[in-house]
Amino acid sequence: MDLMKAFTEKYTKDEPPKMNIGDTVRVHLRVKEGNRERIQVFEGTVIAKKHGGIEESFTVRRISYGIGVEKVFPLHAPSVEKVEIVRRGKVRRAKLYYLRDRVGKAAKVKELL
């Protein structure tokens, strides 16, 4: 069991972002193309958080050119450079999968003041 604990401590991030469901976040992702590396930004609403510990992941949804795009990011992955919170959302659900069926203003999440 000590081996698993050492593995977890080695690969977890020191300061994981304090984000909640409904928050609008900007995920900075390290993308490798050939021998070059660049940072790609994906901004959207956090609609789900799953698991916990080292295998924790979160799903971010955005509308891109009229089409809904969802990406699942592992929280402790080395490719996730940083996650910055753009705005806090006020929600009463643990998963916001109902946003998939909504279009336009109905798909908005109220801001937490």
In a domain, residue 111? The reply is no
Q: What's the CATH number where 56 sits? A: 2.30.30.790
In a domain, residue 113? The reply is no
In a domain, residue 112? The reply is no
Q: Which domain holds residue 70?
A: 2-103
CB 98 within 8 A of CB 91: no
Least confident of 11-20, 50-59, 63-72, 103-112: 11-20
In a domain, residue 96? The reply is yes
The structure tokens listed for 52 are 């916990």
Q: What is the pLDDT of residues 41-99, one digit of tens each?
A: 999 999 999 998 889 999 999 999 999 999 999 999 999 999 999 999 999 999 999 99
Task: Look up the pTM and report it.
Answer: 0.90
Task: Extract the runs of DSSP E, i.e. beta strands, from 1-113.
Answer: 24-33, 36-50, 57-64, 67-74, 80-87
In a domain, residue 48? The reply is yes
Integer Cα distance of 55 and 91 in angstroms? 24
Phi, psi of 50 (to 5 degrees): -130, 155
In a domain, residue 73? The reply is yes
Q: How many domains does the chain have?
A: 1
